[in-house]
Structure 1
């Protein structure tokens, strides 16, 4: 039971070296966050011509007027592996996880509720690449669809990307930003990663690439050589891998099987529209998150959850290219950002050093990376700040 991709994307020489190093180092080895029992032109972009929760605890998504189109039906139509595993070598291993998950249908409901803002958009990206629909459920296994998830090994985000691998994939990190938590960029990077290593190591075999996504290509390649030496085919189901990796594809297939027939397992899935729930609004001037939320007409908590890569309360053009906003609120925010900031909400462009200030403290206060702040102000000795000294906060 395999699925092959015909994609052969050429990487730049330097990127290939960096990515290959991360793969061979087993950069993705980590614990799954799911409980055992339980930017491009791909999204609308609108351009101009305190992180609180919504009142009463209601999510913005509960108030959306959903159309008849349904993301779950669309996802099921893209499943490619559901008939194969029932007849193949993985039957017993997949059935084990179906039994485990179906014992806690409330856990599945909770996780699929968290998937509501992201599922349709991720599925579009999977469809565009011709990949099996099951791939859209990898965040279920990796992070329980929590964009803020972090593992004890250092992996972060929906796709649980390790720091070194994120660096190789171009996902910037700094005090005010972590690209691994940005759903748009991390999704693109994770799917690139899966396809690229399938092409590089496994002649397009996606299942082997998923094993390498979890354990690292070095671990999978060694296991494959041992299987081939024993006269086996060397596909995923032949390999002796770490326990977590042995369970990785079976978990993915198990949750897809439950989503294919949720009523059979007593699972009630939340209603999710088949179209993306968010649009991308370019950040054309520094803006506080609460100000942006007010202009968009949503809670600060809603905007915060849509932009988990932003690690502070200020979005600056030098750090953040865009904000994700509920689709039907984007034009309001675009119009507001095209106007000068009100005096009472303007983000400071300069910090005047006070007695006791440190460069790291100033950077933290303004959600900036220390290295950026030092570079913008030509600071070679961070310990030599003087009271009254003015520091630019934007690099301009």
Structure 2
């Protein structure tokens, strides 16, 4: 009886097990087939090279940040070499270390109290920055050393790039100097660095370093002293020769230092202080951060078709920020293609291997994307009138508005909305890749605007806009398409004005027919031929939500010119600031109505608005 029960139990257990297996088999058989996207299907066919990447995506943000550059720039401009700094570094020990540095350097490194003070200041305030810069130096210093060795330039000058840009190839000074070696536009052109809408070779580590090397070599043939070469790099050879004359013919940096511009007086000491901290970082407990990437771990490949950084990142499974770090000379995050010219992209060697091994498939994918966009445009022209009306209605609901923020460019905006630069230019009647700060762009995209607005401070999409509402936005932009003017005040220079309005020094000079960077106090400058439309205090959504809002906007714009009004000048007023108080009124209008020939205003003066 017991044996019979055991047999039944075993039989039942075996049956349950078999049923479970059948059920599992059945469930596996009915799983839906997952279709791969074209991008995934291309990537799945790639030949793989199992080489581990050495770049950490979190570090990319650190490397692309301008915080260190801004800190170093402020230090050099404001450092007081005469002010004692309390830091643990005995003077006698510092003298010994400086002497050891001097013995193996062509520079005349001598102890003085000012140098001691700036070294102690860096030790007190910049230890963490030096640690991060040492990680970056593992990538950039080999580039500098190889280039300098070819022209017998002292290898120690590599430390100058830290003083100039904090090893950030995207650094831009308040005067418009750009890149690792901070070349001005004119100097960059003088040394054959390409600067156009897509490329700025002042930010190219290899080409800008070669140009800097040429400059150092020429200046040494003039001055015969490396410290004076550094001083001339900062303030120009003319200021150095003036300082030599004012010092009675002295030709040593420390003898003429007090006759140099203030910033240059702290420039060479900052260079020596940086060199000291790199040479004696262990003694001061400065531990280098982990190297982001080393130069020998990267390589270049010639790109034979226009490609965006996004396409490269998608195909090679790498962050765009990594591509930006290694290729800082491409301004719009696009590798362009010009007939008869080569453009290269630098990538980690394992990604280069994948790119080269699958080049045909990569270019096929790029062509596929381009053809799809072209096909979409053609289909829009071939639909029936009824379908076209329906399509237009759908497109209207997809129109989004984006207000240009500081630091924006068309490449970045196109990438955020998954559209092309050419489409942005077409939708907004743009003839070039430059856009004015504050301008509102129309974008036809299916990307969720709320998602983008969180990361880029965009204006949310406007739902169910009528044709009249869209036309009103067009009219609003056209009404604002007049010359934007600015009156120069004390402390202004072309660099600060360009930065304030999101333009460039070169554009300002061209618009105002300036032959130099000098501008007179009170001069009226044309900032741009197009200015952003006047914004209401409410959002754009509210401003164009109804025809009543549009009418009120138009009336407000016209009111200042249709009604006479007196304005009494207050302290600090300028013609520019007053014109901004009255929509549609320009500086030229106020001058004409009041018979004003110059920019001089006095507090209490009465001005007629539309006299």
TM-score (norm 2): 0.43
SS in 2 for 1:97: helix
Unaligned runs of 5+ in 1: 1-53, 63-78, 366-396
1:130 aligns with 2:158: no
Q: How many residue pairs are counted as aligned between the two chains?
A: 294
SS in 2 for 1:324: strand
The residue number in structure 2 matching 1:258 is: 277
Instruction: Please state which structure has a larger fraction of its residues in helix.
Output: 2
Deviation at 1:120, TM superposition (A): 2.4
Moved more, 121-130 or 239-248: 121-130
The residue number in structure 1 matching 2:432 is: 360
The residue number in structure 2 matching 1:226 is: 246
Moved more, 238-247 or 153-162: 238-247
The residue number in structure 1 matching 2:326 is: 306
CA distance in 2, matches of 1:328, 1:141: 33
Q: CA offsets per residue over residues 4-36 of structure 1, 9 Å max, x none?
A: xxxxxxxxxxxxxxxxxxxxxxxxxxxxxxxxx
The residue number in structure 2 matching 1:237 is: 254
CA distance in 2, matches of 1:268, 1:303: 27
Q: CA offsets per residue over residues 32-91 of structure 1, 9 Å max, x none?
A: xxxxxxxxxxxxxxxxxxxxxx987255999xxxxxxxxxxxxxxxx9646679986553
1:278 aligns with 2:301: no
The residue number in structure 2 matching 1:69 is: none
Distance verdict in 2 for CA 1:354–1:306, change over 3 Å: closer
Moved more, 314-323 or 335-344: 335-344
CA distance in 1, matches of 2:109, 2:138: 32
CA distance in 1, matches of 2:161, 2:109: 25
CA distance in 1, matches of 2:297, 2:318: 13
Q: CA offsets per residue over residues 175-233 of structure 1, 9 Å max, x none?
A: 2221111112111111111112222x213x2221111000001000111233343xx3x
Distance verdict in 2 for CA 1:133–1:94, change over 3 Å: farther
Contact 1:121 1:276 (8 Å CA) reproduced: no
SS in 2 for 1:222: helix
The residue number in structure 1 matching 2:17 is: none
The residue number in structure 1 matching 2:162 is: 140
1:96 aligns with 2:117: yes
CA distance in 1, matches of 2:334, 2:107: 50
Distance verdict in 2 for CA 1:56–1:325, change over 3 Å: closer
Distance verdict in 2 for CA 1:354–1:123, change over 3 Å: closer
CA distance in 2, matches of 1:356, 1:258: 51
CA distance in 2, matches of 1:324, 1:56: 16
Task: Select 1:119's aligned residue among 141, 147, 160.
Answer: 141
The residue number in structure 1 matching 2:58 is: 57
Contact 1:113 1:270 (8 Å CA) reproduced: yes
Q: Rg bigger for which structure?
A: 2
CA distance in 1, matches of 2:246, 2:337: 51
CA distance in 1, matches of 2:192, 2:186: 10
Q: CA offsets per residue over residues 319-345 of structure 1, 9 Å max, x none?
A: 762111123432322344455331444
Q: Which has the higher contact order (CA 8 A, sep 6+)?
A: 1
The residue number in structure 1 matching 2:468 is: none
TM-score (norm 1): 0.64
SS in 1 for 2:345: strand
Distance verdict in 2 for CA 1:173–1:86, change over 3 Å: closer
SS in 2 for 1:166: helix
RMSD (Å) for aligned C-alpha atoms:
3.7
The residue number in structure 2 matching 1:323 is: 345
Moved more, 148-157 or 289-298: 289-298
SS in 1 for 2:174: coil
The residue number in structure 1 matching 2:199 is: 177
CA distance in 1, matches of 2:196, 2:295: 32
CA distance in 2, matches of 1:222, 1:169: 25
Deviation at 1:117, TM superposition (A): 3.0
SS in 2 for 1:281: strand
SS in 2 for 1:174: coil
CA distance in 2, matches of 1:130, 1:173: 28
Distance verdict in 2 for CA 1:291–1:116, change over 3 Å: farther
Deviation at 1:173, TM superposition (A): 1.4
Task: Select 1:192's aligned residue among 195, 214, 220.
Answer: 214
Contact 1:289 1:314 (8 Å CA) reproduced: yes
Distance verdict in 2 for CA 1:311–1:56, change over 3 Å: closer
CA distance in 1, matches of 2:196, 2:57: 34
CA distance in 1, matches of 2:294, 2:435: 41
Task: Select 1:165's aligned residue among 184, 187, 206.
Answer: 187
Deviation at 1:268, TM superposition (A): 0.9
Distance verdict in 2 for CA 1:296–1:124, change over 3 Å: farther
Task: Select 2:175's aligned residue among 147, 153, 163.
Answer: 153
The residue number in structure 2 matching 1:341 is: 364
Contact 2:134 2:288 (8 Å CA) reproduced: yes
Contact 1:306 1:325 (8 Å CA) reproduced: yes
Contact 1:283 1:320 (8 Å CA) reproduced: yes
SS in 1 for 2:282: helix
